[in-house]
Structure 1
Amino acid sequence: MRIALALAVFLAAGVAEARTVIINANGYTLDDIGRLERFGGLIVGDDGRVERLLKPGETADGNVVDAGGRTLLPGLIDAHGHVMGLGFLALQIDLSDTTSIDQALAKIASYAAANPEREWIVGGGWNQVSWGLDRFPTAEELDLAVADRPVWLSRVDGHAGWANAAALKASGITAKTTDPAGGRIERDADGKPTGVLIDTAMALVEKKLPPPTVAENTAALETALRIMASVGLTGVRDAGIDAATWALYEQFAKDGKLSARISAMAAGMDALRAIAPKGPTGWLYEDRLAANAVKLMVDGALGSRGAAMIEPYSDDPENSGLTMLDGAKLRNTIASASMRGFQVNIHAIGDKANREALNAFADIQKMGQPLVRPGIEHAQIIAAEDIPRFAKLGVIASIQPTHATSDKAMAEERVGPERIKGGYAWKTLVNSGARIAGGSDFPVEPANPFYGLHAAVTRQDRDGAPPKGWYANEALTLQQALAAFTTGAAFAGQHESAVGTLTPGKWADFILIDGDIFKMPAGDIWKVKVLETWLAGERVYTRD
């Protein structure tokens, strides 16, 4: 009897020592029905899951960590990002901070001079709108920075690329080169390529790029994971990967190096078949990695006028955008993926693209084929009569709030004063009953989710413009915005049973931040700094 009692005491002590107990926290989480819950700390079991939440002032036995009164939130989840793109852009030329073409050219020239061994100069992040240009840049201008080797720079939205003369030559692009389906080569009055390629035309150059080495891929993923942890992201839905990227993610997961949970969308059906030939993988490696979805591209982007519009662009009356996938081919692809149990996520930005995606989902449902949480990625410009169809069809609207505050300089010019009323219409979507999921589309926008929370509730950029918010009637409440980046993103990734809230039994993914977002002025939310990031009860980031 004494032996049994002693063993019970030993076992109890062992459990207590294995547990991590966070005390003295200013905790917020949503519960499983969407209500905001306050708490003073939490207990993490030795399995890395939340054992229970503590009341303010309460403590418990275990490895005690004093939060020092700091605010504790569930780990934030980006519902639409590009992990490898984030890492590579951090290691290549990033033009997202340039405000003029001259500044961009100077940065490109400096990078090229510092990297004489690189066969190609590669990077991205440029935006002609931010430069005050009413046109695309040209190869001739890029040659002023680098002319001795090919240069290829993707636009900030990833839907256009800027090449110099050497890159055009290396790719065999001439006046005789025809535009591919779903793409466009920008040309001068004589038909000569000017240096910018839109959407599928980008592949004409990209297929000539030297493939990254194993070391470069590894460095890019390590860099991306560090960035994500530093801004409080414990999960991401990676919006379009290939089989090689999946293999790299798996290796990181096996080696215990995957410091964020990645829900991967295969970039099209060929990639899907290569990544998950037997069907959806489910969540693997202690819920660190899954391949349960495919991403399909219907149109391009608004900034490059590749978004497919029902009527022509207001600022380009001869152009209605580009359509990459529609009609029977789109429906057959959705049906094929759905029959195998995969979620289908459709990139749609223009009102025509959103309508085509909704029509396709509706047609598949009419055929009696169940859909696994269908989603529309971006859902940017939607015809007013199509907005209620998201809820009716059960389609998730995956939104990126910082797109609105970045695009406000050109969006209304592109679509006019009437169509813009259905643009970035988050509140209208929520009020219609639609599910939304929040993300950034990083590296198109910064990965910092507090930038997204700020944009969602203020409809302002980080300079506070416009003072009253851009179409402020479409702003979300802070609780709605937080839900988009937690429970909404978790639901979109088919993972709400394990993450998104700090409900007992779910993974202890959480962050400590330097301010209380529910008490500070909304305009300051973007300034929040992440102090610590925890995944499955283990600290994966601490701010120096």
Structure 2
Amino acid sequence: MQILRTLAAALVAAASMGAQATTLIHNVSGYQTTDRALVRFNALAFDRGKVLASGDFQQLNRQYPQAQKIDAGGKTLLPGLIDAHGHMLGLGQLNRMLDLRDQSLDSARVSIKQYAKQLAPGEWLLGRGWNQVTWPGKQFPTRTQLDTLDIDHPIWLRRVDGHAGWANSKTLRLAGIDRHTAAPEGGEILRDASGEPTGILIDNAMGLLQRVIPKPTLAQDKKSLQDAFAQALAVGLTSVHDAGINEQTLQAYRELARENAIPLRMYPMLSVNSHNYAKLLRAGHIGSPSERLYMRSIKLSADGALGSRGAALLEPYHDRPQEKGLLLYPEAEMLSLLKLASDNQFQINVHAIGDRANHIVLNHLETLHKASSQKDHRHRVEHAQVLQVKDIPRFQRLNLIASMQPTHATSDKNMAGARLGEARLTGAYAWQTLLKQGTPIAAGSDFPVEPANPLFGLHAAVTRRDRQGAPERGWRAAEAMSLEQALRAFTLDAAYASHQEMVIGNLTPGKFADFILLDRDIFAIDPQAIWRAQVLETWVEGEKVYTRDH
């Protein structure tokens, strides 16, 4: 009898908790995209982490009279934003590195000198973010400019795009790089007139040096990821596609998942360079669409980046006629790595910047498709940045997703024309052209290459202007997205790109209650002001996980 009374009491308590668990947040300007249209609402009901309904407050109040009510004070409510291409470990590690973003050469050298003072003897001075394209003369820096700072530390500073690095002479000696060192295939060692390395290594040549840098421990990787989680939530990201992780980072993710220490949704892509790549593929997918950790994709980089002239082009660089960029893998090896992923039922996500790299990747994906339909895998081209116009329809024919980063266009606008010439810009950063043919765009930022804030991406997508407002009419503005298209690219289509559109991407009944509150209505303001919007609250599964300090 006591057992029955206890069970009855537990059931009553559970029923009471269920009634109290329903929450109705109202007095919002709510927006979400569906398969049909942009939908507005002023109230959202959710229970046990899942959406019950969105719509009119009076109606939902009658439907859920016992719900706990939250008056949002007129704030704007959006589905949680999704970054379809970021680098979580890099974002977290930046907290323990020198950040040179937006600095001139002179200010960078001052920052390097100051930063060195806090290092222990023999410690590496690591950093990233420099961009010679923004400096007078636009020339790559040299080891001499580091050596003259008289710093007794090995120095290694990655370019903003991560595809080139700048070293001092001490670092080159530690790595055994001298005038006799041959650059590996897919890499370049810049040299001066006498044949000596200048200190700049591009793409695969960076591996010659990076192998001598002390590797972070598993515990350090976990801490970096946790730091990145916090930064992501603070800018309104409730899901991130981590674009290329190695085996140790995967282990860090798995341990954090077991510890229930992943506060947002992570969709990592296994790097083809990972130790035990084939073994990990054979082990199969990790998690499911509804779990915080879900892995079913791989990442391969076909070429380098435009800013460091590593992007592989069909014709020479407009501003360097003797160069066509770099393919990071021989074509046959690239196809073999992609086929191994496809054969193990993994989605293929390939970094391709230049028109040659994109053309080759499309050829490989077409080869796989002819052998066996690839439609269900939802393969993606990461960046899809510079395309031959005649290659663009192949995205639709092959059912591919274009994973693109709007802020790349507004960061590159002053450099892309110089690198490519005007003719090749026709198929570059071609968002609207892709959308009009029915190709979904999964939007992201490529952080820490660009800032992680997705409001910056929404702004760039709509205006094709930088955050200072230039150019006034937008750069190649015909390719701009509407705000509805941009929101969908950062929500529903990004969710589709990770096979998760049934559980996240908008706030329809049954999906997770992942949403954010903004301080202003981005649909009602000057589009140039979108980037100034502040995330006030971030909610994941109906739980508030971030509140902005006022």
* TM-score, with structure 1 as normaliser: 0.95
C-alpha separation between the residues in 2 aligned to 1:144 and 1:528? Answer: 43
Partner of 2:79: 74
Q: Which segment is superposed worse, 212-221 or 395-404?
A: 212-221
C-alpha separation between the residues in 2 aligned to 1:118 and 1:396? Answer: 46
CA distances 1:370-399 after superposition (whole Å, capped 9, x unpaired): 351111000110011111111111111110
Secondary structure in 1 aligned to 2:132?
Answer: coil
Structure 1 residue 88 and structure 2 residue 105: aligned? no
Judging changes above 3 Å, is the alpha-carbon distance between structure 1 residues 14 and 409 closer, same or farther for their aligned structure 2 residues? same
* Structure 2: tracts of 5 or more residues without a match: none
Judging changes above 3 Å, is the alpha-carbon distance between structure 1 residues 294 and 215 closer, same or farther for their aligned structure 2 residues? closer
C-alpha separation between the residues in 2 aligned to 1:63 and 1:196? Answer: 59
CA distances 1:189-242 after superposition (whole Å, capped 9, x unpaired): 121100000000001111111112344323322221111011000001100001
Structure 1 residue 308 and structure 2 residue 312: aligned? yes
Query: Does structure 1 conserve the Cα–Cα contact (< 8 Å) formed by 2:246 and 2:273?
Result: no
**Residue 353 (structure 1) aligned to one of 340, 353, 357:** 357
Query: Does structure 1 conserve the Cα–Cα contact (< 8 Å) formed by 2:281 and 2:346?
Result: no
Please tell me the residue identity of whatever aligns with 1:178. Answer: A
Secondary structure in 1 aligned to 2:349?
Answer: strand
- Structure 1 segments of 4 or more deviating over 4 A? 3-12
Shift of 1:12: 4.7
Query: Does structure 2 conserve the Cα–Cα contact (< 8 Å) formed by 1:335 and 1:369?
Result: no
Q: How do residues 225-244 of structure 1 correspond to structure 2 at under 5 angstroms? A: 225-244=229-248
Q: How do residues 312-351 of structure 1 correspond to structure 2 at under 5 angstroms? A: 312-351=316-355
Query: Does structure 2 conserve the Cα–Cα contact (< 8 Å) formed by 1:302 and 1:350?
Result: yes
C-alpha separation between the residues in 1 aligned to 2:41 and 2:258? Answer: 34
**Percent identity, aligned pairs only?**
48
Judging changes above 3 Å, is the alpha-carbon distance between structure 1 residues 356 and 13 closer, same or farther for their aligned structure 2 residues? same
C-alpha separation between the residues in 1 aligned to 2:198 and 2:278? Answer: 37
Shift of 1:23: 1.9
Query: Does structure 1 conserve the Cα–Cα contact (< 8 Å) formed by 2:298 and 2:346?
Result: yes
C-alpha separation between the residues in 2 aligned to 1:341 and 1:215? Answer: 31
Partner of 1:51: 52
Partner of 2:183: 179
Partner of 1:424: 429
Structure 1 residue 200 and structure 2 residue 201: aligned? no
C-alpha separation between the residues in 2 aligned to 1:270 and 1:442? Answer: 21
* Structure 1: tracts of 5 or more residues without a match: none
Q: Which segment is superposed worse, 528-537 or 145-154?
A: 145-154
Structure 1 residue 124 and structure 2 residue 128: aligned? yes
Shift of 1:44: 1.7
C-alpha separation between the residues in 2 aligned to 1:252 and 1:131? Answer: 41
Partner of 1:40: 42
Query: Does structure 2 conserve the Cα–Cα contact (< 8 Å) formed by 1:108 and 1:146?
Result: no
Please tell me the residue identity of whatever aligns with 2:50. Answer: R
**Residue 20 (structure 2) aligned to one of 12, 17, 21:** 17
CA distances 1:258-278 after superposition (whole Å, capped 9, x unpaired): 112110101106454454542
Judging changes above 3 Å, is the alpha-carbon distance between structure 1 residues 214 and 35 closer, same or farther for their aligned structure 2 residues? same
Shift of 1:512: 0.4
Judging changes above 3 Å, is the alpha-carbon distance between structure 1 residues 265 and 339 closer, same or farther for their aligned structure 2 residues? same
C-alpha separation between the residues in 1 aligned to 2:30 and 2:338? Answer: 41
Q: How do residues 135-534 of structure 1 correspond to structure 2 at under 5 angstroms? A: 135-268=139-272, 270-271=274-275, 272-273=277-278, 275-283=280-288, 287-370=291-374, 372-534=377-539
CA distances 1:451-481 after superposition (whole Å, capped 9, x unpaired): 0000000000000000010001110000000
C-alpha separation between the residues in 2 aligned to 1:224 and 1:394? Answer: 32
Judging changes above 3 Å, is the alpha-carbon distance between structure 1 residues 11 and 270 closer, same or farther for their aligned structure 2 residues? closer
Please tell me the residue identity of whatever aligns with 2:39. Answer: E
C-alpha separation between the residues in 1 aligned to 2:437 and 2:150? Answer: 51
Q: Which segment is superposed worse, 220-229 or 368-377?
A: 368-377
Query: Does structure 2 conserve the Cα–Cα contact (< 8 Å) formed by 1:41 and 1:56?
Result: yes
Shift of 1:5: 12
Secondary structure in 2 aligned to 1:534?
Answer: strand
Shift of 1:142: 1.5
Please tell me the residue identity of whatever aligns with 1:105. Answer: R
Judging changes above 3 Å, is the alpha-carbon distance between structure 1 residues 150 and 23 closer, same or farther for their aligned structure 2 residues? same
CA distances 1:2-24 after superposition (whole Å, capped 9, x unpaired): x9999998665331112222122
Shift of 1:130: 1.7
Shift of 1:318: 0.3
Shift of 1:356: 0.5
Shift of 1:136: 0.5
Q: How do residues 23-34 of structure 1 correspond to structure 2 at under 5 angstroms? A: 23-31=26-34, 33-34=35-36
User: How many residues are treated as equivalent by the alignment?
Assistant: 538
C-alpha separation between the residues in 1 aligned to 2:248 and 2:9? Answer: 53
C-alpha separation between the residues in 2 aligned to 1:118 and 1:275? Answer: 36
C-alpha separation between the residues in 2 aligned to 1:121 and 1:270? Answer: 25
Secondary structure in 1 aligned to 2:135?
Answer: coil
Q: How do residues 56-67 of structure 1 correspond to structure 2 at under 5 angstroms? A: 56-57=57-58, 58-59=60-61, 60=64, 61-67=66-72
C-alpha separation between the residues in 2 aligned to 1:40 and 1:186? Answer: 58
Q: Which segment is superposed worse, 483-492 or 328-337?
A: 328-337
CA distances 1:318-367 after superposition (whole Å, capped 9, x unpaired): 00000112432222222221111000011100000001011111111112
C-alpha separation between the residues in 2 aligned to 1:219 and 1:282? Answer: 22
CA distances 1:39-86 after superposition (whole Å, capped 9, x unpaired): 12212212x111222413443323322211111000000000000100
Shift of 1:91: 2.3
CA distances 1:289-336 after superposition (whole Å, capped 9, x unpaired): 111011111100000000000000000000000011243222222222
Secondary structure in 1 aligned to 2:294?
Answer: strand
Q: Which segment is superposed worse, 363-372 or 145-154?
A: 363-372
Judging changes above 3 Å, is the alpha-carbon distance between structure 1 residues 269 and 209 closer, same or farther for their aligned structure 2 residues? closer
Query: Does structure 2 conserve the Cα–Cα contact (< 8 Å) formed by 1:24 and 1:41?
Result: yes
RMSD: 1.9
Query: Does structure 1 conserve the Cα–Cα contact (< 8 Å) formed by 2:304 and 2:353?
Result: yes
Query: Does structure 2 conserve the Cα–Cα contact (< 8 Å) formed by 1:16 and 1:62?
Result: yes
Query: Does structure 1 conserve the Cα–Cα contact (< 8 Å) formed by 2:282 and 2:344?
Result: no
Judging changes above 3 Å, is the alpha-carbon distance between structure 1 residues 276 and 368 closer, same or farther for their aligned structure 2 residues? closer
Q: Which segment is superposed worse, 146-155 or 50-59?
A: 50-59
C-alpha separation between the residues in 1 aligned to 2:221 and 2:114? Answer: 24
Please tell me the residue identity of whatever aligns with 2:38. Answer: L
Query: Does structure 2 conserve the Cα–Cα contact (< 8 Å) formed by 1:269 and 1:294?
Result: no
